[in-house]
Amino acid sequence: MHYTRKSGVLLHPTSLPSHGGIGSLGNDAIKFIDFLHSAGQSLWQVLPLGPTAYGNSPYACYSAFAGNPLLINLELLVEEGDLVSSDLCEDLPAERIDFQLVTGYKNILLRKAASSFFAAGDPQRTGEFSCFCEAHPWLHDFALFMALKEHHHGKSWCYWPDEVARRKSSELALVSLELAAQIDEHKYMQWQFFRQWRKIKGYANRQGIDIIGDIPIFVAYDSVDVWAYPDLFHLDEKGRPTVVAGVPPDYFSKTGQLWGNPLYNWEIMAYHGYDWWVDRFRSALDLCDLLRVDHFRGFEAYWEVPVVDKTAVNGRWVKGPGEALFHALFDSLGKVPIIAEDLGVITPDVEALRDKFSFPGMKILQFAFGSGPHNPYLPHNHVRESVVYTGTHDNDTTVGWFASLSKVEKQAVCRYLNVSEDGIAWNLIRAALVSVADTVILPLQDILELPGDARMNFPGSSSGNWTWRFNPELLSGKTAKRLLEMTEMYGRCQVA
C-alpha cells in the first residue's frame, strides 16, 4: 500500500491579522495560504466556521449549516460597491478580539452593505444571490431564526411567543412578512460569507493545499437546528432539554465538562435515515476537503447528564448510533474523508468503530509523557493511520505547556527527545514530523514559539477564549524556510 505523508497548520480564520478587529476572508487569508505553500505544507485546519453564539465558541453556533458573518471581509464589500472606504474603521484592537466591539461594528456595516446591495438591484448580482438562496434549503429557516432572535432582544427561542417557538405555520408566514427586510439581510450575509470562503478555498486548492474542517458532534440548544427540528432531540413538552451532553472527569477537569448541549434522539434520526446528518456532512464537504469530527467517541457512546446537574460527574454512558450512521453517510455521499477526534475516555468499542471505517485518529504529543513507554501518544507508538498534533486548540501552546511542567517532568521530556530545554516548540515539531503517522498538524502558535498567553481555549472556562490573533510580522520567510526544510527532510513536502 502506498502512503502519502503530509503536514499542515492549525489556524482558525478569526486569528488572521485582518483589519476590523478580527480575522477575515480577504488578503490576509491569501497571504497565510502563500505562507503554507512556501513552507511546503499541504493542509490548513480550521475550527468550525459557523455563526458563534454565547461565549463566542465555534463549537456552539446558531446553526450547523450557516457561516460566521464576522469572518466576512469588509474591504471586499467596498470593492463590490456595497460599502465605501470611509465606512471602515481601523480603531479596533489588533492583538486580541474584542467580540462585543467587533460584533457591533461589523453588524452595522453588514446591514448597510445589504441595504446598498438590494437598493442597487444589479441583475447579475441579484441573480447570483437568488441562485444561492435556492441552492441552500436551510437558509430561510436560519435567516428567520436570526431575525426573530433580534426581534426578541436576543432571547433564546424557548422564550419567544409560543406559536413562534412551536413553529405554527400561519404564525411563521406572518412573521416572515413582518421581518422580511431583516431576513434578507441575513441571507445577504450568508451569501457573502460563502462566496468569500469559496474563493479562499479555491485559492488554497490551486496551491496544493486542502482544507480540514471541523464538525462538532453536538449543536447548541439555542440554535435554528433545535428550533426547526425539535423531534430530533430529547426535549420535554415545553421544548426544554431533559438530558444534556458532557464528558466525565478527565485530563482537563476533575468534575468533567458539562457542555449543556441537547442530546439527539437517535431512534428518530434512524427512522428518517439520518438525513439531517447526511445534509450536514454534505454541506460541510462543500466548504472543506476533509472533516475532523469532534468528540467522535460520542457516536459509539455519549455521556448523558441530567439537565438539573451542575457538573458532569453523575452522568452515564448511553449507546450512540454506531456504524449505522456512517453506512448512511457513505451510501449517500460516498467515502467521506473523516479524521476521528478520539481523545478522552476511549474504549475498545470506540476504536473498533473508528477502525472499521479506517478513520485516522489523533495523537497529541503534549499527552505523550509521564505514563511510561507504552503511552500511545509517544512517537515510537504511533501508527500510520493517524494525525499527530503537538497540541490542539484545547491545549496550551507547547512553550506554555513545557513551562508549566515540573523540573523532573521537563527532564523526562528532554531525555526522550534527546534535546536540551531550549527551543522546545521546534523540538516537539520535529518529533511530530518524524513520526510514522501519515499526517501532522501543527498549531501556528508552536511554529511561532509563542508562550501560553497565545492559547486559544481553556476547556471548562466560559470567558477569555477564542480571542488570540497573530502578529503578521512573525510570519517571516525565515520561518517558512525552516518549516520547509524540516518538512522536506521527513518526507512530507507535497506542495510543488
pLDDT class of 268 with cuts at 50, 70, 90: very high
pLDDT of 184 > 90? The answer is yes
Residue 251 included in any domain:
yes
Report d(CA 370, CA 405) in Å as an integer: 11
The tens digit of pLDDT for each residue in 115-172 reads 999 999 999 999 999 999 999 999 999 999 999 999 999 999 999 999 999 999 999 9
CA-angle at 438, arms to 432 and 441, nearest 5°: 45
Q: Is 137 exposed, middle or buried (0-12, 13-18, 19+ CB in 10 A)?
A: exposed
Residue 344, pLDDT score: 83
367, part of any domain: no
Residue 30, pLDDT score = 98
pLDDT at 495: 65
Please state the length of the chain.
496
**Residue-level pLDDT at 260:** 92
Say yes or no to pLDDT of 92 above 60. yes
Determine the structural domain holding residue 331 and report its residue range. 229-357
Active-site residues, by number, are 294, 341, 394
Q: Considering the chain, what percentage of its residues have pLDDT values greater than 90? A: 92
Evaluate whether residue 252 is within a structural domain: yes
The domain tally of the chain equals 1
d(CA 327, CA 112): 45
Alpha-carbon gap, residue 462 to 400, rounded angstroms: 20
At 2, the pLDDT band (50, 70, 90 cuts) reads very low
Residue 186 lies in a domain: no
**471 in a structural domain:** no
Whether residue 272 is contained in a domain is answered as yes
Q: Any idea which residue has 452515564 for its cell?
A: 316
Give yes or no for residue 249 having a pLDDT over 90: no
pLDDT exceeds 90 at position 461: no
Whether residue 390 contacts residue 446, with contact meaning beta carbons closer than 8 Å, is answered with: yes
CA count, 13 A, side-chain hemisphere, 314: 7
pLDDT tens-digit series, residues 357-411: 999 999 999 999 988 899 999 999 999 999 999 999 999 999 999 999 999 999 9
d(Cα 106, Cα 97) in Å, to the nearest integer?
Answer: 13
Mean pLDDT confidence for 246-252: 80
Determine the pLDDT at residue 76.
98
- Give the per-residue pLDDT at 252: 65
- As a whole number, the mean pLDDT across the chain is 95
* Long-range contacts from 478-481, C-beta under 8 angstroms, 24+ separation: 479/39, 479/447, 479/448, 480/35, 480/38, 480/39, 481/38, 481/39
pLDDT for position 337: 97
Looking at residue 3, its pLDDT comes to: 60
pLDDT at position 151? 97
Q: Is residue 284 part of a domain?
A: yes
Q: How far is CA 271 from CA 113, 265, 268, 275, 469, in A?
A: 43, 10, 5, 9, 44
In a domain, 491, yes or no: no
- Are 279 and 269 within 8 A, CB to CB? no
Radius of gyration of the chain from Cα atoms? Answer: 23
pLDDT value of residue 1:
37
